[in-house]
Amino acid sequence: MAWSELKNLPEALLPWYEASKRDLPWRKTKEPYPVWLSEIMLQQTRVEAVKGYFHRFLQEIPDIAALANCDDEILHKLWEGLGYYSRVRNLKKAAQVIVNQHGGVFPREYAAVRALPGIGDYTAGAICSICYDLPTPAVDGNVLRVISRLTEDATPIDQPALKNRVREELAKVYSVRAGDFTQALMELGATVCGPNRKPDCEQCPCRNFCGGYLHGTAEQFPVRPEKKGRKQENMTVLILSCDGSYALRKRGNSGLLAGLWEFPHVPGKLETGDALAVLESMGLKPKDLRRQADKKHIFTHIQWNMRGYYLELSEPGGDFSWLTAEEIRQSAALPTAFRQFFDEI
């Protein structure tokens, strides 16, 4: 189908969205702060997982000024389990820019929004259209999937050329209800035309002009590049306890999981004797090996294969912070990779 068919989208999508949209908390406002927060949280994260985090975050940090001044430990704890922690660090950086350069008021111009730390074309487009009704498309994987099927465009979905063209073509057809149109496209791509399953074409409001439906090709689109294998990393995690406290250390301020807490660990999946030898080299005295557990954690491009040893020590030591289980629950942000060992304590 021709790209010119996109002109039919507003008339088809807006009534459907009004009747079918999900009841999501961030759709109850057009204030930029909660909309911005929701868009950042929803990156790489399921809607159902985000709802609770969204409420808790706003309760603790109700506005941009509070975000700009929030302690990093509190931020990380509020974000604990969501992953991709650079998102919350960029939220704070952007809040500080808004306070220092925009008088604490979220900017209304697309270029100023796009210039904020952690905000790309998609997020800037979403905020500006939803909050200010500007004709600024928000093109993510869901929207690319919808448009690829509508137009039967075989350009691989990871190609910038496709995203750029989709953004340009959509900008031409935006209606006066820009925010609703943006969210309708998102909704269609997340539900009826959703990922990793057969599209529900019979329920689609666009089926009368969708090339994928009319020609029976919907499941052939979008075209995806061949996936590369994840890098595999093996490690041994040491869950060290002494008199009810556990050894933690903080990761550096750059790189993967920067600034978060972790259990001590070393490269390789060590056998028991080798793990005990590592402890002795640290000057630590193990009293009891309580158990062993193998876990894995998948990042976008890396998989950690982890062997954990739960060890009771005769006395605390090493260059660690020793925290009780309650202190860890209350204030130490453990990334999911390490929290899965803590959850079994």
Active-site residue set: 39
Report whether the peptide linkage leading into residue 222 is cis, meaning its omega lies within 30 degrees of zero: yes
Q: Are 68 and 99 in contact (CB under 8 A)?
A: yes
State how far Cα 124 lies from the chain centre: 16
Q: Are 269 and 305 in contact (CB under 8 A)?
A: yes
156/154 Cα distance (integer angstroms): 6
- CB of 328 within 8 A of CB of 246? yes
**Sign of CA pseudo-dihedral 190, 191, 196, 202:** negative
DSSP 101: H
d(CA 198, CA 193): 8
Which DSSP category does 155 fall into?
S
Q: Are 121 and 129 in contact (CB under 8 A)?
A: no
Beta carbons of 332 and 323 less than 8 angstroms apart: yes
Which amino acid is it at 36?
A: W
Three-state SS string across 175-231, please? CCCHHHHHHHHHHHHHCCCCCCCCCCHHHCCCHHHCHHHHCCCHHHCCCCCCCCCCE
Of the candidates 228, 226, 250, 224, the one whose C-alpha atom is nearest the C-alpha of residue 302 is 228
State the Cα–Cα distance between residues 274 and 233, nearest whole angstrom. 18
Residue 343: DSSP 8-state = T
Cβ of 303: how many Cβ atoms within 10 Å? 15
Distance CA 127, CA 179 (A): 9
